[in-house]
């Protein structure tokens, strides 16, 4: 079975997709980490992310693997563990032009489909329900207000996680900068020509602004009898 979860940065997609996968015995596929890995490899090799042809070559040569690690997973790109490196502000800046490159998307979508063909998957990203798996069994578009998303990101950067109740004090100035970046990235992701961020017509929209983490996960699981049965089986 394929579960597609799309939405903007900071909507809680990653935590929710990972937890749905854990509860329902599915494999979690973080497609954002794939675009981030290509952006990281470009920066490492001195390739300008705005140079479409050079970036496409980097994407074609990239071997991206996900290795389970305790509750999470590590991201390995061309044999190097890049789990932390792909979350830096430098990579965040480089990933927009990389992911707007149609040739890069073609390579990544083929890899994502291959991962889906191999088994039961919860994939999260921007174009999963619209392009990668248009026939997914369950499609969710997870959104939240820009302010709620900026707060989550700010807490995350300081090592906290609002999803798990691990709250840390954040600096208002830093939160403002994150909000500005996020609004800019949303606009870029939603207006780019190649697979812009938009909900699939048949996606179920969930607004997580005022919902707790467990409530969002429960809402996703309850969308499909098969998911609910899998979660039930996982508990017993």
Partners of residue 111 on adjacent β-strands: none
At 24, which helix (H) or strand (E)? helix 13-24
What does the alpha-carbon distance between residue 217 and residue 115 come to, in Å, rounded to a whole number?
Answer: 23
Using CB under 6 A, which of 178, 185, 221, 227 touches ligand DC? 185
Listed ranges 18-26, 29-37, 113-121, 199-207: which one lies at the site for ligand DC (CB under 6 A): 29-37
Asked whether position 95 contacts ligand DC by CB under 6 A, the answer is yes
- Interface map 119-158 toward ligand DC (x if CB under 6 A): ------xxx-------------------------------
- Interface map 207-226 toward ligand DC (x if CB under 6 A): --------------------
What does the alpha-carbon distance between residue 136 and residue 194 come to, in Å, rounded to a whole number?
Answer: 20
Please report how close the Cβ of residue 37 comes to ligand DC at its closest, in angstroms. 10
Contact 144, 151 (CB under 8 A): no
> By C-beta, is 56 or 189 nearer to ligand DC?
189
Please report how close the Cβ of residue 127 comes to ligand DC at its closest, in angstroms. 5
> Nearest CA to 8 among 156, 222, 220, 205?
205
> Nearest CA to 143 among 218, 205, 215?
205
Please report how close the Cβ of residue 116 comes to ligand DC at its closest, in angstroms. 13
Size of the site for ligand DC (CB under 6 A): 13
Please report how close the Cβ of residue 197 comes to ligand DC at its closest, in angstroms. 7
Site for ligand DC in 8-27 (CB under 6 A): 9
> By C-beta, is 194 or 228 nearer to ligand DC?
194
Contact 128, 31 (CB under 8 A): yes
CA atoms lying within 13 Å on the CB side of residue 74? 10
Please report how close the Cβ of residue 124 comes to ligand DC at its closest, in angstroms. 7
Contact 50, 99 (CB under 8 A): no
Polymer length of the chain: 236
Q: In 10 A of CB 197, how many CB atoms?
A: 21
Asked whether position 101 contacts ligand DC by CB under 6 A, the answer is no
Contact 213, 15 (CB under 8 A): yes
- Interface map 36-55 toward ligand DC (x if CB under 6 A): x-------------------
Listed ranges 30-38, 68-76, 165-173, 201-209: which one lies at the site for ligand DC (CB under 6 A): 30-38
What does the alpha-carbon distance between residue 58 and residue 104 come to, in Å, rounded to a whole number?
Answer: 9
Contact residues toward ligand DC (CB under 6 A) are 9, 31-32, 35-36, 95-96, 99, 125-127, 185, 189
């Amino acid at each position: 079975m394929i579960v597609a979860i799309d939405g903007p940065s900071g909507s809680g997609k990653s935590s929710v997709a990972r937890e749905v996968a854990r509860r329902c015995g599915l494999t979690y596929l973080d497609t954002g980490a794939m675009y981030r890995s290509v952006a990281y490899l470009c920066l490492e090799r001195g390739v300008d992310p705005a140079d479409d042809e050079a970036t496409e070559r980097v994407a074609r040569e990239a071997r991206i693997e996900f290795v389970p690690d305790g509750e999470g997973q590590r991201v390995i790109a061309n044999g190097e563990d890049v789990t932390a490196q792909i979350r830096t502000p430098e990579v965040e800046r480089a990933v927009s032009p990389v992911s707007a490159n149609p040739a890069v998307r073609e390579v990544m979508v083929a890899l994502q489909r291959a991962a889906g063909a191999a088994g039961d998957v919860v994939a999260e990203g921007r174009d999963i329900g619209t392009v990668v798996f248009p026939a997914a069994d369950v499609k969710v578009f997870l959104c939240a207000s820009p302010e709620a998303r900026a707060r989550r990101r700010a807490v995350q950067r300081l090592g906290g996680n609002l999803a798990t109740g691990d709250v840390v004090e954040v600096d208002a100035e830093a939160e403002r900068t994150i909000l500005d970046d996020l609004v800019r990235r949303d606009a870029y992701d939603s207006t780019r020509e190649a697979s812009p961020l938009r909900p699939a017509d048949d996606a179920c929209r969930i607004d997580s602004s005022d919902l707790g983490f467990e409530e969002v996960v429960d809402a996703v699981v309850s969308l499909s009898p098969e998911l609910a049965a899998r979660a039930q089986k996982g508990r017993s």
